[in-house]
Amino acid sequence: MKTRILLVEDNPATIEVMQQELELLGYDVVVAKDGVEAVELAATGLPDLIVMDIALPKLDGLQAASQIRANPKTKAIPILAATARALPEDRGKCLASGCDDYLAKPFTHRELGAAIERLLAEKAKGTRH
């Protein structure tokens, strides 16, 4: 069975590019377009990993990550923050909200793939926080 990734992104152009990249990397991709949908799809679909934008409608990515961490069913799902917020304090905010790693946009196909592989390997080994 393919590894399933929940891509949380509200920009249609970014969704298209990132979904194609993730599918080229061999992942099955499910898309959520806002933070509320992300929390719901995480709980119902139990993806292997979540790629989370931070600037989202309804519920931002930091709030969505916190809610995903608070749910016993979804708390162990690795979350990769993928955001245009690239100030030094933004990384800390992402990690404090429950994200496991952080990529500042724009990032390369290789950087995205490496971050996902690292988080999935940590999850498999049980070394995630």
Per residue in 38-92, pLDDT (tens digit) is: 999 999 999 999 999 999 999 999 999 999 999 999 999 999 999 887 777 888 8
| SS3 sequence of the chain | CCCEEEEECCCHHHHHHHHHHHHHCCCEEEEECCHHHHHHHHHHHCCCEEEECCCCCCCCHHHHHHHHHHCCCCCCCCEEEEECCCCHHHHHHHHHHCCCEEEECCCCHHHHHHHHHHHHHHHHHCCCC
Q: What is the mean pLDDT of residues 16-21?
A: 94
Is the pLDDT at 128 greater than 80, yes or no? Answer: no
Q: Decide if pLDDT at 15 tops 70.
A: yes
Per-residue pLDDT, 127: 61
Domains annotated on the chain, with CATH: 26-85 (3.40.50.2300)
At position 124, the amino acid (one-letter code) is A
Beta-bridge mates of residue 4: 28
More confident residue, 129 or 114: 114
